[in-house]
């Protein structure tokens, strides 16, 4: 298997008003091509920081981050990010929000008609073709997040980075979008790194679950490999012994070994 992301002994520290804050310490992580990896941990443990490290939005203070064999020097469209709060530009329609990304990635090599086709295809991928001319404030939270996901997929990135993409949604919408995401990832064979604090989401979607210890100076506490066969069905898994075993393993880590002292 080809190693797409390699993080070697990476530290991340921030300068704050109280002085140096060590967010991550000695992180070692590899993500192979086509893998779905989730990062889980208590809030504030630095899982988003780890994602931003891969995205290039945060630089390591020590150690190295390689994506596709090249050291990460900054953010780039080969690593599409879906943020928790969708971050669509409110003055643009859904179509234009996606088109902006498509144009950036493919604008140099393809004619405009093809760019528009790509944008429409991305909207269809998330079943939002009818909403292409709507502005973000005219659609629901779940739809906004789908546009954000469509924007990310439209860029055909080497790796897709999802930062708690369903965190702000209600349970039903979340389940629906999880299924949709599984579907799209299977179809496009994408490599995904996703931050979540939802144990069920992690077990259902991932190939591997990376569990971080509590911050500051969080380290990779343990990694659980999810060997459930795909395609996965949330209803079938509800009564699956192996599913519950995995779920318990993650819960055990989060609530016994890493009980959040502040919470």
Partner 1 sequence: MKLATTPSGGRIRIVSLRKFELGDDARRPRPARSAASSADQTGAPATPGESPAPPASRALASLAAASRAMMPVALGLIVFIGIWALIAQISTLPNPAKTWEAALILFSDPFYVKGPNDQGIGWNILGSLQRVAVGFGLAALVGIPLGFMIGRFKFLSDMAAPIISLLRPVSPLAWLPIGLLVFKAAGPAAIWVIFVSAIWPMIINTAVGVRQIPQDYMNVAKVLNLSEWKVFTKILFPAALPYMMTGVRLSIGVAWLVIVAAEMLTGGVGIGFWVWDEWNNLNVEHIIIAIFVVGIVGLLLEQALLLLARRFEYR
Provide the residue count of the chain.
263
Minimum distance of partner 1 from residue 104's CB (angstroms): 5
Q: In the bound complex, what is the minimum distance in angstroms from residue 247's beta carbon to partner 1?
A: 32
Which residues have C-beta within 8 Å of that of residue 33, sequence separation ≥ 6? Answer: 1, 2, 3, 4, 191
CA angle 75, 189, 161 (to 5 degrees): 25
Rounded to a whole number of angstroms, the minimum distance from the CB of residue 79 to partner 1 is 7
- Footprint on residues 144-163 left by partner 1 (CB under 8 A): 155
Nearer to partner 1, 81 or 131 (CB): 81
Site string for partner 1, 77-96 (x = CB under 8 A): x-xxx-x-x-x-xxxx----
The DSSP letter of residue 257 is: I
The contacts of residue 122 (CB under 8 Å, 6+ apart) are: 98, 102, 150, 151, 153, 154
Q: Which is nearer to partner 1, 34 or 75 (CB)?
A: 75
- Interface with partner 1, residue 68, by CB under 8 A: no
d(CA 225, CA 71): 27
79: β partners? 159
Alpha carbon 26 to its chain's center: 21
Site for partner 1 in 107-136 (CB under 8 A): 135
Site string for partner 1, 48-67 (x = CB under 8 A): -------x-x----------
From the CB of 55, what's the least distance to partner 1, in Å?
7
**Rg of the chain on CA atoms, in Å:** 18
Considering CB under 8 A, how many residues would be counted as binding partner 1? Answer: 22
Q: Which stretch binds partner 1 (CB under 8 A): 59-67, 71-79, 123-131, 235-243?
A: 71-79
What secondary structure letter does DSSP report for 184? H
CB of 85 to partner 1, least distance (A): 6
**Residue 89 and residue 97 in contact, taking contact as beta carbons nearer than 8 Å:** yes
Residues that bind partner 1 (CB under 8 A): 55, 57, 74-77, 79-81, 83, 85, 87, 89-92, 100-101, 104, 135, 137, 155
């Amino acid at each position: 298997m080809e190693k797409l992301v390699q993080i070697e002994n990476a530290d991340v520290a921030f300068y704050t008003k109280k002085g140096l804050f060590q967010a991550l310490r000695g992180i070692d992580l590899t993500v192979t091509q086509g893998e779905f990896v989730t990062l889980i941990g208590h809030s504030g443990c630095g899982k988003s920081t780890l994602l931003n490290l891969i995205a290039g939005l945060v630089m390591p203070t020590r150690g190295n981050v390689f994506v596709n064999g090249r050291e990460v020097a900054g953010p780039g469209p080969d690593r599409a990010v879906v943020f928790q709060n969708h971050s669509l530009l409110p003055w643009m329609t859904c179509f234009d929000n996606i088109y902006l990304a498509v144009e950036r990635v493919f604008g140099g090599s393809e004619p405009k008609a093809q760019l528009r086709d790509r944008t429409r295809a991305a909207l269809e991928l998330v079943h939002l073709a009818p909403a292409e001319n709507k502005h973000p404030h005219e659609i629901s939270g779940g739809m906004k997040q789908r546009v954000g996901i469509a924007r990310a997929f439209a860029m055909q990135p080497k790796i897709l980075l999802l930062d708690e993409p369903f965190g702000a949604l209600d349970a039903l919408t979340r389940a629906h979008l999880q299924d949709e995401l599984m579907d799209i990832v299977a179809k496009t064979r994408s490599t995904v790194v996703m931050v979540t604090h939802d144990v069920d989401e992690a077990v259902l979607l991932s190939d591997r679950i990376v569990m971080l210890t509590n911050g500051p100076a969080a380290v990779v506490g343990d990694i659980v490999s999810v060997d459930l066969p795909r395609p996965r069905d949330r209803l079938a898994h509800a009564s699956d012994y192996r599913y519950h075993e995995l779920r318990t393993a993650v819960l055990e880590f989060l609530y016994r070994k890493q009980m959040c002292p502040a919470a």
